[in-house]
Amino acid sequence: MADLVNLTIDGKAVAVPKGTLIVDAAKTIQNDIPVFCYHPKLKPVGMCRMCLVEIGTPKMDPATRQVVKDDKGVVVIAWQPKLNTACTTPVSEGMAVRTQTTVVSDAREDVLEFLLTSHPLDCPICDKGGECPLQNLTLEHGPGNSRFEYENKQHNAKHVPLGDLIYLDRERCIQCSRCIRFQDDIADDHVLQFHERGRHMEIITLSEPGFDSYFSGNTSDICPVGALTTADFRFKARPWELGSSPSVCNHCAVGCNTTLNTRLDTKTGINEIKRVMPRQNEQVNEIWLCDKGRFVHHYTRAGDRLQKPLIRQNGQLVETTWERALDLVSSKLLGASSVAAVIGDRIANEDAHLLTKLVNSNAKGETRLSPALPASYADLARDYGVGVGFDMKQLGKGDVIVVVNGDVEEQAPVWFLRLRQAVVDRGAKLIVSNHRGTKLHRYAAHIARYEQGMAAQWAAQTDDAALSTEELTKARNVLFVFGDEKLDAVSARGLAQILVGKLVAAGQIGKPNSGLLPLYPHGNTQGVFDIVAGTRHSGNPGVLSVDVAWLVGVGDTSDAPKARFSVVSELFMTALASVADVVLPALSFAEREGTYTSGDRRVQRFYRALPAVGQAKPDWWAVQEVARRMGFVWNFASPAQIFTDLAANVSYYSGLGYEVLAKTESQWPPVGRDDLYYGGTGYENDGGIGVRYASNPSVISAPTLPKMITSMSDLKGPARKLYQTGELIKRSDVMQTHIE
Amino acid sequence: MEKHILLRDLDVPNIRDLAVYSQHEGYAAWKKAVTGMKPDEVITVVKDSGLRGRGGAGFPAGVKWSFIPKDVFPKYVTVNCDESEPGTFKDHHLIRHNPHQVIEGTALCAYAIGANVAYIYCRGEFREPAYELQKAIDDAYAAGLLGKNLFGSNYSLDIYVHLGAGAYICGEESALLESLEGKIGQPRLKPPFPAVSGLYSKPTVINNVETLANVPPIVLNGSAWYKQWGTEKSPGVKLFSVCGHVKNPGNYELPLGKYSIQELLEMAGGSMTGRPIKAVLPAGSSSPIIPASNFHAKLDYEAMAAIGSVLGSCSWIFMDDSVDMVWAARKMIRFFKHESCGKCTPCREGTHWALSVYDKLLSGKGTIEDVNLIGEVNKQIIGKCFCPLGEFATSSMTFTLKHFKQDYVDFIDQKKGGSDVYLKELARDHHLHELHSGVVSVNGIKVH
């Protein structure tokens, strides 16, 4: 912390880094200066005038340019004649700030009375009521009543759909522009704007369709009033009635920390997710979520969730008891000469571990990752991945970020936000190489193109000066973000290998912020790979031919082995479930606990938020029950115990455990506490910020391809879009018009 | 004045034409500067002349120019021709009747700071004069006075005229820049100041039309020549737009500090109605009103400050004793409510609220409590706004209450509210309000 500046706030000394704004400096000593327009993640504008304080600086003698001191030797403070905004004024050496004087409290009361003259005061029916900065600050600082005549209130439209996900209540809006600035400064989707002026000023959307952004839900979190509500949550529940459980989003490799807000639904009588909120993790998602992570949760309470085990009788799947289903599966496994487990990349580490353990007990047991293609390069991504101390927030001037063959906004939206800030706000150099345009191209200092599917060939042959060993050696850090779009297994692995080669050549191995960062399809691709990457994991599951196959959370029909007998653990009657011999109803991530490993190898816990649906059980439970029937003496009572076993068996995870993963640390800016006006309604992290396990860079072997690659020759990475259709997203009503 | 320096159209017929202007030392300063002076020498002469900004704030022009960094490119000159203060019509006069002097002044400023592009930002309502100004610029291009490699040097200059969309706030320099960049007209946070980060985030000088019109004669004749007029702190001549209840409204060019308000009134022929003049607004609706008892004050920045008012944009609105200050204050508040950009809370909500109380007074439902409320609301706005506009809005309330409290008391006691005239005025304003905020459809939803 070089360049500390000393100042006093209400007489209390505080030292903060140069450039800190008064409002943030005060926050570090728990002095809550109220704000509406200011947000610690956005650039200050000083519009709402709520944060007015008295500011003074040491009095200077104009003749001597020396600080003036009184007879007691105390520095005389020259107070500014007017109040000034704490949110736009940076601290300076010797500055004095007064936040508790009558002038200041009068100003706060005045500004609140002004704001409330136009506000509808419809708190009793407002979704924000209970967690509303305007409500809270009015109670704390506002006048007891208003002298403004109620009938003079201006009435505006109350249900304006900005897009189909976000509604605007024009009466409640206090014109703070947080939403506009989020879209401009963070998302870089310039779709919101002020229209008209004065008392008629209002938020409009300029895009067609309206509010066209993957990040629109965040504006509802940071809106300091109930003006922006999500189509999903509006009029669904009062905030204080909601239960909240820490969770982790599993839709992409980022692993955003979330909080699941749940409540009994008055109509159906069942407990359901009312909204998904960001849970602060400054090293993962900060306080943001993409709209997919926020709005796709409806599948957890979809009417067609599987509720009971099914077995095939006379060609039909019929409901049965767990006893019968488990007996049948265990007897088939006992008699099987060859067994395969195919594990989807949204399955928790614990379930993957237990199933792998069971299947590997068979001499001819095979476990595979689904989708399979990432297995061709996930070992490189793990061993040459970013360092343990990796933090995108530290990327900036001097760093080189190379995005090869990936569309970060579509495939890891929150990484897009954070990489963009590293480039645009902090000056990292971005090189983008792709066969098509992506949003990141906007910020690239350098762009390279190649034919579709030719990423590896391009990387091998490029004589681009920006990617020369010399340039990469000079860089402070080098981050390679890459994807497998339109690549076959040979090319995908080839690409990763070439990137590793460049890291090694440039001496960029072993630094926290240098390494590979893969754009995996889902939230636990790395985790499942780490577990199945034992002895017999390699290759494409679709080419296997076995006696018994057990498929857990597998979406792609081409990932199903040819099997005499197949078991499918699923949430829904998917294409694969409908042709299975046994279908086991599984629990969704919201109904159980477990861990996921994100694309940057951060192992994170998610917690149970909802009760089970019907007789559905977690996969690990079903696996253990089958194992017991097969004679294994397994007594895992919870995912925590399974994780301990996992950590003992998978070397990368050694030392990790549920307690370590549940650790939190204080984060900046503070969110989710009483001072909601400051950071928004996102949640404080009380579930653990997770731990990134260490990579294992060793001398790179000769670029021979692992044998498994040959079995993967048919595979080609899809061009994944954020809203592409799937079993989960298609069950979310609010997302319907967005599905591609 | 024997001979005008700015209003030269009054001495020389058709000086608006390039040929006539050229015959009368037109563009002589420009040629002198580009062919014989270093940019810094131009800044020095303007600095030495003591020329202060004529837009209202009175900041020394040469000092402002000297803030522009030498090593950042490009840089810009922006001419503030937004002239939106009620009662001001001096810039309008200049660009219409003596446009080449404005163009020449703009060019000199650009040369002095090393800018190759200048924009003249005209308020939206100046459609016609802006076209005339453009014609003058076209003539200057045709005569080789603007464009590339001027007078055989390697200095080039382009001047563009830009029409705003009609907003008072765009006279504020940073809002003007926003508007010029195509954004919504709202003031910017300062610092950074335009000299560091102005138009398109580049160093920018913003000067008023009148300020720049002073520059050609200063460059041509030297700073000492200019200083023969005015006071030590306020040298030179100034345009005074005079209107209201006077016989001869119009623009008057006077040396600063020489005449008093009373003398200005007499120059304008005195009261039009024969009734005694009650007060004057020295700089339109944004300025502290001056009661007749202070008409002895001299016309310069310091003397005006001494009587608690400002010289500002010099738009003198004289009012005779038939004017009810409650009505006048309401008019002004309505103006500011309409013109508030909406960026900051006190101005947006405060003007809206204050107007609603004034409307109550005019409708005849007001009480003395409402008069007190106006004072309270006014105090709530003062000192809390983002930009000066919000503070300007309070002047009408502060100073009518200070100097003419009796008007308010009489208004209530004598039940002046609710008269046919006032009710009609309210009805008309209400109708206009509806028109302005007409129902439009956004995303298929009807909104107001």
Residue range B64-115, pLDDT digits in tens: 999 999 999 999 999 999 999 999 999 999 999 999 999 999 999 999 999 9
Whether residue A175 lies within 8 A of chain B, CB to CB, comes out as yes
Of A88, A147, A194, the CB nearest to B189: A88
Which chain A residues are closer than 8 Å to B365 by Cβ?
Answer: none
Interface residue of A43, A45, A49, A193 to substitute, partner B, most B CBs within 10 Å: A49
Q: For residue B342, what is the nearest residue in chain A, using CA coordinates? A: A198
Position A701 pLDDT exceeds 70: no
pLDDT tens digits, residue range B44-68? 999 999 999 998 888 999 999 999 9
* Helix residue ranges, H only, B143-214: 173-180, 209-213
- Alpha carbon separation from B64 to A343, B51, B211, B217 (Å, rounded): 70, 11, 12, 19
B44 plus B150 within the same structural domain: yes
Query: Which member of B189, B341, B349 has the closest CB to residue A115?
Result: B349
Backbone torsions φ then ψ of A454, nearest 5 degrees? -105, 25
- Co-location of B365 and B291 in the same domain: no
B351 CA: distance to closest CA in chain A (Å) = 9
Measured CA to CA in angstroms, residue A353 lies from A124, A602, A621, A649 at distances of: 49, 17, 12, 9
Same domain? For B251 and B354 the reply is no
- Interchain proximity B380–A50, CB inside 8 Å: no
The predicted pLDDT at position B56 comes to 86
Residue B21 lies in a domain: yes
- A44 inside 8 A of chain B by CB: yes
CB B61 within 8 Å of CB B53: yes
Q: Identify which of B249, B250, B268, B272 has the alpha carbon closest to the alpha carbon of residue B259.
A: B268
User: Which A residues, 49 through 68, put their C-beta within 8 Å of a C-beta on chain B?
Assistant: 49-50, 52
Candidates A200, A212, A737, partner chain B, best to mutate (most B CBs within 10 A): A200
* pLDDT of B442: 41
From A81's Cα to the closest Cα of chain B, the distance in A is: 9
Q: In which element (H, E) is residue A458 found?
A: helix A455-461
A561 to chain B, minimum CA–CA distance in Å?
50
At A55 the three-state DSSP class reads: strand
Contact yes or no for B343 and A47 at CB 8 A:
yes
Place of tokens 């008055």: A266
Inter-chain CB proximity A157 and B185 less than 8 Å? no
Query: Which residue among A83, A88, A198 sits closest to B384, beta carbon to beta carbon?
Result: A83
- Convert the pLDDT of each residue in A303-334 to its tens digit: 999 999 999 999 999 999 999 999 999 999 99
A408 neighbors A247 (Cβ within 8 angstroms): no
pLDDT for B236 beyond 70: yes
Residues B81 and B212 in one domain: yes
Q: Would the pLDDT of A705 be above 90?
A: no
B137/B209 same-domain check: yes
pLDDT in the model for residue A602? 98
Q: B-chain residues within 8 Å CB-CB of A193?
A: 184
Q: Are residues B161 and B280 located together in one domain of the fold?
A: no
Structure tokens belonging to residue A546: 């076995």
Cα(A561)–Cα(A578) distance, integer angstroms? 15
- Distance in Å, alpha carbon of B310 to nearest chain A alpha carbon: 19
* CA B390 – CA B339 distance, rounded (Å): 10
Q: Give the rounded percent of residues in chain A with a pLDDT score beyond 90.
A: 89
For chain B, how many structural domains are there in total?
3
- Separation between Cα atoms, residue A657 and residue B112, nearest integer Å: 70
Residue A711 confidence (pLDDT): 75
Q: Is residue A174 less than 8 Å (CB to CB) from chain B?
A: yes
> A427 Cβ partners below 8 Å, 6+ apart?
A396, A397, A398
Determine the average pLDDT of the residues in B391-410: 96
In this prediction, residue A700 carries a pLDDT of: 53
Mean pLDDT of A201-219: 96
Mutate to test the interface with B, among A50, A88, A114, A192 (most CBs of B within 10 A): A114
Mean per-residue pLDDT over chain A, rounded: 94
Question: What's the rounded mean pLDDT across residues B206-213?
Answer: 97
A102 interfacial to chain B (CB closer than 8 Å):
no
- Phi and psi at B325, nearest 5°, equal -65, -20
Helix (H) or strand (E) holding A114: helix A102-117
CA trace torsion A580, A639, A352, A299 (10° rounding): 50
Which residues of A fall within a CB distance of 8 Å from B349?
Answer: 114-115, 117-118, 199
CA angle A289, A301, A595 (to 5 degrees): 55
Nearest to B447 among A47, A117, A160 (CB): A160
- Provide the residue type at A406 as one letter: G
Residues B40 and B149 reside in one and the same domain = yes
- Sort B25 into a burial class: Cβ within 10 Å, 0-12 / 13-18 / 19+: middle
Please give the Cα distance from A677 to A39 (Å, whole number): 8
Residues in chain B closer than 8 A to A152 (CB atoms): 356
Contact B6, B215 (CB under 8 A): no
Residue at token pair 């705003």: B164
The nearest alpha carbon in chain A to B378 belongs to A110
Identify the domain boundary among B320, B344, B374.
B320
Note the pLDDT of residue A364. 87
Report the residue of chain A nearest B167, measured CA to CA.
A197
Give a yes or no: residue B3 inside a domain: no
A160 touches B at CB < 8 Å: yes
Answer yes or no: is pLDDT of B20 > 90: yes
Tell me: do B127 and B191 sit in the same domain. Answer: yes
Question: Which tokens in the block code for residue A114?
Answer: 């002004």
- The count of other CB atoms within 10 Å of the CB of residue B100 is 29
- In B, minimum Cα distance to A208 occurs at B443
CATH of the domain at B404: 1.20.1440.230
To the nearest 10 degrees (0 to 180), the angle between helices A322-334 and A619-629 is 60
Give the pLDDT mean for B313-327: 96
Instruction: Please give, rounded to a whole number of angstroms, the shortest distance from the CA of B115 to a CA of chain A.
Output: 28
- Domain contains B27: yes
pLDDT at residue A225 above 80?
Answer: yes
pLDDT at A683 over 80: yes
- Asked whether residue B232 is assigned to any structural domain, the reply reads no
- Separation between Cα atoms, residue B201 and residue B328, nearest integer Å: 40
DSSP symbols for A165-228:
SEEE-TTT-----HHHHIIIIII----EEEES-GGG-EEEE-SSSTT--TTTHHHHHH-SSTTE
Please indicate, yes or no, whether residues B165 and B203 belong to a single structural domain of this protein: yes
Interface-testing mutation among A21, A197, A225, with chain B (most B C-beta atoms within 10 A): A197
Inter-chain CB proximity B350 and A88 less than 8 Å: no
Chain B contact for A331 (CB, 8 A cutoff):
no
Mean pLDDT of B421-427: 93
Q: Are residues B257 and B346 in the same domain?
A: no
pLDDT above 70: residue B434 = no
| List of residues 6+ apart from B195 with CB closer than 8 A | B64, B67, B68, B69, B203, B204, B205
Domain termination site, one of B288, B320, B352 = B320
Q: Are residues B348 and B414 in the same domain?
A: yes
Beta-strand relationship, B204-208 and A515-518: unpaired
- Kindly report which listed range (A2-6, A102-106, B42-46, B297-301) carries the lowest average pLDDT score: A2-6
Q: Which of A44, A118, A197 sits opposite B167 (nearest CB)?
A: A197
Last residue of a domain, one of B320, B354, B380: B320
> Which domains are seen in chain A, by residue range?
4-100 (3.10.20.740), 378-519 (3.40.228.10)
With beta carbons under 8 A apart, name residues in chain B contacting A157.
445-448
What CATH number does residue B27 fall under? 3.40.50.11540
Minimal Cβ distance to B345: which of A45, A115, A148? A115
Contact A199 B337 (CB under 8 A): yes
Is A339's pLDDT higher than 60?
A: yes
Cα–Cα distance between A142 and A113 in angstroms, integer?
7
Distances from the Cα of B82 to the Cα of B40, B90, B207, B243, B285, angstroms? 28, 11, 11, 19, 16
Determine which of A145-154, B256-265, B328-337 has the lowest per-residue pLDDT on average: A145-154
3-state helix, strand, coil in chain B (%, to 5): 50, 15, 35
What's the distance, CA B186 to chain centroid? 17
| Contact at CB, A111 and B341, closer than 8 angstroms | no
Residue A543, CB-side half-sphere exposure with 13 Å CA sphere: 13
More confident residue, A47 or A145: A47
Token pair in block for residue A26: 């005060």
Residue B329 has pLDDT above 70, yes or no: yes
Please tell me if residue A192 touches chain B, with a CB cutoff of 8 Å.
Answer: no
Residues of chain A contacting residue B337, judged by C-beta atoms under 8 Å apart = 198-199
Q: Are A576 and A306 in contact (CB under 8 A)?
A: no
| DSSP characters over B360-395 | HHHHT---HHHHHHHHHHHHHHTT--SSHHHHHHHH
Phi-psi region at A34: left, alpha or beta (left = phi > 0; alpha = psi -120 to 50)? beta
At A386-436, the pLDDT tens digits run 999 999 999 999 999 999 999 999 999 999 999 999 999 999 999 999 999
Please indicate, yes or no, if residue B409 is contained in any of the structural domains: yes
pLDDT of residue B447: 41
Looking at every residue in chain B, the average pLDDT score rounds to 94
Q: Do A107 and B373 touch (CB under 8 A)?
A: no
Q: Sign (positive/negative) of CA torsion B105, B109, B114, B120?
A: negative
- Give the distance from CA B224 to its chain's centroid: 27
Give the residue-averaged pLDDT of B159-164.
Answer: 97
d(CA A278, CA A255): 11
Instruction: For residue B105, give its domain range.
Output: 8-227
Same domain for B346 and B298: no
Q: How far is B124 from chain A (nearest CA, A)?
A: 15
Burial A523-552 (b: 16+ CB within 10 A, else e): bbbbbbbbbbbeebbbbbbbebebbbbbbb
Nearest CA in chain A to B353: A148
Q: Which of A25-39, A534-548, A658-672, A704-718 has the lowest mean pLDDT?
A: A704-718
Question: A195: distance to nearest CA of chain B, Å?
Answer: 8
